[in-house]
């Protein structure tokens, strides 16, 4: 996928926004959705998206929508920090397949990092069961 690819209304995150696919939700407003990454790189790995921006990448979103998204990223990242007490928190965002993007709906990763614990590979392995994601999700939700 190039950086100029058109937005696909049937991408996985669009389906999650419409409710056509399940996710483990953390936080939702009229504009924003935060949910657990189903292939987590660490305990508490979650994603934050804008629900209406229809942006494939960082280059397609309006400054106002990006501002709302960035504020939500900070809000959820603070909750992750309080809930899970990681040693570090990685915020990641990929644009285009060569940069590592695999889902073409703009999103930010929030990845807690724990000293001495290697991060799992990006978007690899089998999907986690909702039940396995729920304990960390509950802790995060309780801090939002
Ligand atoms: P990207 O590679 O585009 O930066 O990140 C996409 C992320 O979405 C990956 O970390 C991947 O694990 C996650 N992901 C892929 N499919 C699904 C899904 O169906 N549900 C959820 N919750 N996350 C997904």
Q: Name the residue among 133, 136, 27 with its Cα closest to residue 85.
A: 136
Evaluated on CA atoms 135, 12, 32, 74, the torsion sign reads positive
Q: What is the pLDDT of residues 30-78, one digit of tens each?
A: 999 999 999 999 999 999 999 999 999 999 999 999 999 999 999 999 9
Model pTM above 0.75: yes
Residue nearest to atom 9 of ligand 1 (CA): 123
- Architecture per CATH, 12-143: 2-Layer Sandwich (3.30)
Q: What is the pLDDT of residues 40-50, one digit of tens each?
A: 999 999 999 99
- Give the active site residues: 107
Residue nearest to atom 10 of ligand 1 (CA): 123
What does the longest C-alpha to C-alpha distance in the chain come to?
40
* CA separation for the pair 5, 7 (Å, rounded): 7
114 lines ligand 1 (CB under 6 A): no
110 lines ligand 1 (CB under 6 A): no
49 lines ligand 1 (CB under 6 A): no
């Amino acid at each position: 996928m190039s950086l100029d690819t058109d937005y696909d209304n049937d991408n996985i995150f669009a389906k999650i926004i419409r409710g056509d696919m399940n996710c483990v939700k953390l936080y939702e407003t009229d504009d924003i959705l935060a949910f657990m990454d189903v292939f987590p790189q660490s305990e508490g790995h979650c994603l934050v998206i804008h629900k209406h921006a229809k942006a494939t990448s960082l280059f397609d979103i309006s400054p106002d929508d990006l501002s709302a998204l960035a504020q939500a990223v900070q809000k959820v990242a603070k909750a992750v920090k309080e809930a899970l007490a990681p040693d570090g928190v990685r915020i990641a965002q990929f644009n285009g397949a060569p940069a590592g993007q695999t889902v073409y709906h703009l999103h930010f990763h929030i990845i807690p990092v724990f000293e001495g614990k290697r991060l799992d590979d990006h978007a690899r392995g089998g999907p986690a069961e909702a039940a396995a994601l729920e304990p960390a999700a509950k802790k995060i939700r309780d801090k939002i």
